[in-house]
A and B are shown apart, each in its own frame.
Chain A
C-alpha cells in the first residue's frame, strides 16, 4: 500500500511543463520583448560608449560636485574611481553594467511604485503580494536564470528580467510602508476637504511618502547591481563577466579589479540617489540643481545618440556581427579566441558570449548564437546533443583525440579507477555541475562498485585547478575530473586513471556546431567555422600563454600570426 508520502510528487515535472507551455504560448510576445529590449539597451550602451569617456567622467564629476552641496569628497572619489576603471580597460563593461542597472531599476520603479500604492490601498492585495515578495527575495537568483533563458534567450534582456525579479521587492515594500505610515489625520483632512483619489495621491500621499520611497528605490538599485554577476552567467554583458571568468579560472587579480569596479559604481550610484533625494526634500530651491543636471544629461544623451546615428549612416554598417558562444574552460577560451581573431581579420564583428554549458547548447539551438566550437562529442555532451540535435548543424571535429577521465598526481600509487578505495577522503574534485565530464563522473560512481560511497564535489574549473595546485604543494591525495588538452598537464606531473568500464569514453573529439540557417545567412563565416581545425599542441601552446598571464586575445593573436598558413587554409 503506497501512501502519498512515499511517492514523490511530480512538482519538478509540473514546473517544467508550465515553463514549456509559457514559452510556447507567448513565444511571439517574448520575442518582441527581446528584440525591443535588445534594441533599446544596445542603443543606450552604444550611445554611452559613443561619448568620449573623459567627457563623461568630467560631466559626472561636475554633477557630483553640484549634487553633493559643493563638498569635495564625492566628486573626488567619482573622478578617481572612474579614471581607475577606464585605466583598467573596463570602460565598455562599466557602460554595459550601468545600462543593465539603469534599465532594471527603471522597470522596477515603474512596476513597483504603482504596485506598492495598490498594496497600501487594499488589504487583500497586501495579503496576496507580501508572500510573493518574500518568495522573490529568498528564492536563489540562479533559479530565475533558467526560465529567463527559456523566455528571452541570452544576453542583456534575461539579465534585466532576473534583476527586476530580484530588485523589485524593496521598492514595492517601501512604497506600501510609506503610504501606510502617513498619519491618519492627514488622510482624513484630505478626505474631509473632498479630494478625489488621485488628488489625494498626488497632493498628499506621494509627497509625504517620497523619502521612504526613495530609500526603497536606492535599495532596488543596489540589488540590481548585485545581480549583475549572476546575470552574466546567461550572457549579460558587463563587469559581471569579468568576475565570473575570474572565478572559473581562479584568477584572483582580475576578479578583484572587476569587483572593485562594481564597488565604485555602486558607491557612486548610491551617493547620487541619496543626494538627489536630499535635494528634493530640503525646503529651499534645491530641486533646481536636480532639474539642471537631469536636463544636461538628457540633452547630452540625445545629442550623442543623434551623432551616433548620423555617423553610423555615413559609414554604412561596418561588418556583420558573429556571435560565438563558449564555456569558460581554458581549452574553449583558447579555441574561441583564435576563431574570433580569424573572423575579425576577415572584417566581421565578433561577440564572444561566455555561458554555462547547458545554456550554451540551448543558445545555439535557439539561434541566439551563431556557433560554438566547444562541443565535446560523442560522450561528454551526449545528453545535450541528444536534446538539441535536430535544431543545429554539426560541422564535425575541430580537434581530434581529446581525452577525458579521472586524473591524479603521479606520486599517488593508484593507476586505475578500480584501485580507488579510500584515497582523498573519498572525494572526486569536479568542475561546474552542468559540464559533460561531470555527467560521466556520476556514471562512473554508479558503475564502479568500489566508488559506491565516493562523492563528486562540483565547483568550477578554476577552483578545481587551485585545489589541485594546493594538494600537489602539500603532497596530498587528490582525484580530479580532467581533460586534455589542458595546461595542468604541462604544469604538473599528472596521470590519467585507467577507465576499464569506459564511462569517460574512448575517443572524444571537440566539434564545431552551428545554428540552422547560418550557411545561407553568412556563407563565409560558415565555411571558416566548418574548416576550423587544429591540434592538441596548437591548443596547448595558446593555453600555456594564457595561463602565464598573456591576455586571451593577445595569445590567440600570437598563434594566428605564427600559423598564417593553417589559418588561411580555413577560409579557402
Chain B
C-alpha cells in the first residue's frame, strides 16, 4: 500500500534555471553549475514511494539536498517541477487552502533544532497544531496532555523549552507532531543535535513508538549507522540526486555505483585496515589498587569473564580471568600474583592480515599497545573475522569485474 508517491521532483534555487537543468542532465557537478549560472540545484529528478507504516530514511552528506527534499514534501519549499501524491492526491498542485488542510491533518514535521516556541510552555507548544486547527480548548488540552503522557513529559508541561534538556525538547517536538495524529511524520535530522547517548535512546524510543502507532515516517539523517538502525528502506542522495534506494542490506551488499560503495566503505572498510580500526575499548583492572572483589564486580557489570590488567600508568601487565580472580579471593592473594602475564600485543598500525594468525590460536583478546607499553585497546576474534569477510567479498567482486 503506497502512502506517498514522489515523481520526478526537482527544485532549483536562483536564476537561470533552464541552463542549470540542461547542465545537470549532462551530469555536471553542483559546484560547476553554481559557478556558471548562479543557480543551486537543491533536488533533481527524485522519484520514490513510501509505503504505509514504514520508516523511509533519506541519507546523504550535508549539501546533498536531503533537507530540501523533505521540505518539498510538505511544500515549505515550492517544487520547481514534479509531483507528490499523498493517497493519490497531488500535493504539488494544491491551492493554499487544501495545502493547509494537509499540513494540519496529514503531514507533520519534527525539526533538527526542535523548532519549539520559546515564548510558549511545553503544553502550549504541544497543542500548537491543534490550536491552529481550531480544536476547542478542552479537547486539545486532553490530546496534548495525552501526547505528553506518552513521552513521560507531563510533569514538565508548565515549563518553558529553555528549561529542558535537548533530549526532552526533542521529545516535546515529537509529541507536538503526534498530538495532531498525522498520517505522515517528516523528521529532519531529528536526532543530530543530541549527544550520541541520548541519540541512541531516542532511536530506540522511536522504534518502540513505531511499534505502537504505525505511522509512515520519512526520516532524514547524515549518519549511516542511524539509517541502518531504524530504516526499513534507505534512499542515498548526492548533489540533489537519489543514487540508490533499498533496504540497508541491499545498500551494503549491492551498491549501485562508486559513490554508494565509497559511502558505505567509509563506514565499514576503512575500519578494517589496521589494528586501531578494529580494536575496541579495553576493560581493565588496575591491580595496584583493585582487589579480587572489585575485579569480579566489574566483570559482572560488564558481562565479561576477563579483564586486562594494568598499572596506574595504564601500562599493560597481563590479563585476569574470572577463575583467577575467584582463586585470589579464596586464598587472599593480591591480584598481581594471579594474573596471566603472557598476553599477545600488537601496535596500532599492525595490518589486519598480520593479526589473523595471532588470534587464530588464542581465545584471549589481543592487546593493542603503544611504544610505552600503554594499553590502547583490545582486538577480539569476532571483529577480525567480520573485517576479513568484508575484504574478501570486495576482492572477489574485483576479480569478477576484473
Residues of chain A having any CB pair with chain B under 8 Å: 183, 185-186, 188-189, 191-196, 199, 203-204, 207-208, 283
Contact = CB atoms under 8 A, between A and B. Distances in A.
A77 B112 CA distance: 49
A283 B115 CA distance: 20
A170 B48 CA distance: 50
Contacts of A185: 111-113, 115
B101 A203 contact: no
Given A194-B103, A203-B131, A189 B115 contact: yes
Nearest to B159: A283
Given A204-B117, A283-B160, A189 B111 contact: yes
B101 A194 contact: yes
Contacts of A192: 74, 76, 103, 107-109, 186
B137 to A, nearest CB: 14
Nearest to A207: B119
B397 to A, nearest CB: 43
A337 to B, nearest CB: 58
Top 3 nearest A-B pairs (CB, nearest first) are A194-B103, A194-B104, A189-B115
29 contacts: A183-B113, A185-B111, A185-B112, A185-B115, A186-B115, A188-B76, A188-B109, A189-B109, A189-B111, A189-B117, A192-B74, A192-B76, A192-B103, A192-B107, A192-B109, A193-B103, A193-B108, A193-B109, A193-B128, A194-B99, A194-B101, A194-B102, A194-B104, A194-B132, A196-B132, A203-B131, A204-B117, A207-B117, A207-B119
A188 B109 CA distance: 9
A183 B101 CA distance: 24
B377 interface: no
Contacts, number: 59
Contacts of B101: 194
A188 B103 contact: no
B133 interface: yes
B108 A208 contact: no
B104 A208 contact: no
A193 B115 CA distance: 11
Interface in B66-113: 71, 74, 76, 99-105, 107-109, 111-113
A193 B104 contact: yes
Nearest to B130: A193
B286 interface: no
B119 A188 contact: no
Nearest to B113: A185
Given A185-B111, A186-B117, 10 more contacts: A189-B117, A192-B103, A192-B107, A192-B186, A193-B109, A193-B129, A194-B133, A204-B117, A208-B119, A283-B160
Contacts of A195: 132
Contacts of B63: none
Interface of B: 71, 74, 76, 99-105, 107-109, 111-113, 115-119, 128-129, 131-133, 160, 176, 180, 186
A263 to B, nearest CB: 35
Nearest to A206: B119
B48 to A, nearest CB: 21
Nearest to B99: A194
A240 B325 CA distance: 94
A123 to B, nearest CB: 14
A208 B103 contact: no
Nearest to A200: B132
A188 B115 contact: yes
Contacts of B102: 194
A188 B71 contact: yes
A122 B102 CA distance: 26
Contacts of A199: 132
A280 to B, nearest CB: 11
Nearest to B105: A194
A196 B115 contact: no
Nearest to B104: A194
A208 B117 contact: yes
Nearest to B114: A185
Nearest to A283: B160
Contacts of B76: 188, 191-192
Contacts of B129: 193-194
A195 B71 CA distance: 16
A122 B30 CA distance: 29
Given A188-B76, A208-B118, A208-B119, A193 B180 contact: yes
A199 B118 CA distance: 17
Contacts of B132: 193-196, 199, 203
A203 B117 CA distance: 10
Contact of A188 (B104, B111, B128, B133): B111
A186 B104 CA distance: 16
